[in-house]
Amino acid sequence: MSTIVECPPGRVCAAFGVDEGELEPFGELGWRTGRLTLLPVADSEQALWLARSLNDVHLPDLRIARPARATDGRQVVGGWMALRAIDGEPADPEKSTVDDLVLVSVKLHQALAHMSRPDFIDKRDDALARADRMAWGEDEADLDDSSCARWFDLLLGATKPVPLKDQVVHANLYRGVLFFTDAAPAIVDFRPFFRPPEWSAALVVVDAIADGKADVDVMARWEHIPAWRQMLLRAVLFRLAAGVLDSDTGEDARERLRHAASTVSRYV
C-alpha cells in the first residue's frame, strides 16, 4: 500500500518558489508541481552530495532529475530538496518491464563507475544502512525472531565472497525510474550505496518479485551477469533485514518479502 509523505510546509514551498496550492503527491517519494519535485531529506550531507554530483553525470540514453536551488541559493531547506521536472509524456507503467529496469541499471552504473566513495556512506546508521552491512556480513545480524529474520539466517548461510568491484550505486531503481513514450527514461530519488553494480540490478529483480512482477524466469534471463546468484542473495538479504529493522513494515510487506526470499531460494 502506498504511503504519501506529509506535504512540505509553506516556508519550504516559498523558498523554492512553489505555489503550495499546486502541489500534488509524487507517489511515495514526495510532492511535485509542473516544474519541480520536492523530496524530504533524511540526511543533509547526502542530499548536498547528490546536488553536487548529479549535475556532473552524463548519462547516454538516460536522463536524471537534476537538483534545483532555492531562491536564496540553498540546496536543502527545512529538510527538503527540489529536483527539476522531467519533460515528456509518461508511459503506461504497466508497459515497462523488469528487464527495462535492469537495462537502466546497467547503463546508469557504467556512467557512475568513476565516482569516488562518498564520506557519508560510513557515517550512516539508519535501518537501510544497517541492513546493507548485515547483508554483506560486515555487521552482526541482530534481528528478531520473525519469519523474515529466519529467512535471513537461512539464506545468509548460502552466501560466498565475490570478486566484484564496489562503486556508487542506486539502491531503489525499482521505484526510482520514470518511463516516457517520447523521451529517454528518467532516474529520480537517487539512493546512493557503495556496492557492486551487479547488486543494484539484482535488487531491481528482487523488488519486482516482492511486488509480484517477476519470477524465476526473470532471474534466469539475467544469469550472464557476473556472480548473479550471489548478488540476488545479497539483495534479498538486504530487503529482509531492512524489513525487520524498520518498525513501520506491515504484515503485508513482510509477506511479500517472504515470497521474494522463497523465490530466490529456489533459484540460487
Query: What residue segments make up the domains of the chain, in order of their start?
Result: 10-84, 93-267
Q: Which three cell numbers stand for residue 169?
A: 550505486
Mean pLDDT for the stretch of residues 24-46: 86
- One of 3.90.1200.10, 3.60.15.10, 3.40.50.720, 3.40.50.20 is the CATH number of 93-267, namely 3.90.1200.10
**Any bridge partners for residue 83, and if so which?**
37, 67
pLDDT band at 2 (very low <50, low <70, confident <90, very high): very low
Q: What is the mean pLDDT of residues 183-193?
A: 90
pLDDT range class, residue 125, cuts 50, 70, 90: very high
pLDDT mean across residues, the chain: 92
Phi then psi for residue 225, to 5 deg, are -65, 135
Percent of the chain with pLDDT strictly greater than 70: 99
- Of 134 and 42, the structure prediction assigns the larger pLDDT to 134
Lowest mean pLDDT segment, chosen from 7-16, 58-67, 214-223: 58-67
C-alpha cell at 48: 548536498
Helix (H) or strand (E) holding 83: strand 80-84
pLDDT of residue 223: 96
Q: List phi, psi (to 5°) of 78.
A: 55, 35
Full-model pTM: 0.90
Closest of 186, 227, 193, 215 to residue 65, by C-alpha: 186
What is the spatial distance between Cα 93 and Cα 104, in angstroms, rounded to a whole number? 15
Beta-carbon count within 10 A of 212 CB: 10
Structure confidence at residue 1 (pLDDT): 38
State which of 46-50, 65-69, 138-142, 255-259 shows the largest mean pLDDT: 255-259
Q: Is the dihedral of CA 97, 211, 47, 202 positive or negative?
A: negative
CA-wise closest residue to 102 among 26, 208, 211: 208
Q: What single-letter amino acid sits at 103?
A: L
Beta strands at 63-64 and 186-187: parallel, antiparallel or unpaired: parallel
Q: How far is CA 256 from the centre of its chain?
A: 17
Residue 247 has pLDDT above 80, yes or no: yes
Please state, as a whole number, how many other Cβ atoms lie within 10 Å of the Cβ of residue 240.
Answer: 33
Q: Which residue has the cell 505555489?
A: 19
| pLDDT band at residue 3 under the 50/70/90 scheme | low
Cα separation, 237 vs 214, whole angstroms: 17
Which of 48-57, 76-85, 258-267 shows the lowest mean pLDDT across its residues? 48-57
* Selection from 174, 243, 176, 175 nearest residue 202 by Cα: 174
Region of poorest pLDDT, from 92-96, 137-141, 154-158, 175-179: 92-96
Residue count of the chain, please give it. Answer: 268
- Residue 77: pLDDT above 90? yes
User: The C-alpha cell of 185 is what?
Assistant: 527514461
Nearest-CA neighbor of 198 among 234, 172, 242? 234
Contact 51, 81 (CB under 8 A): yes
Output the pLDDT for position 190: 86
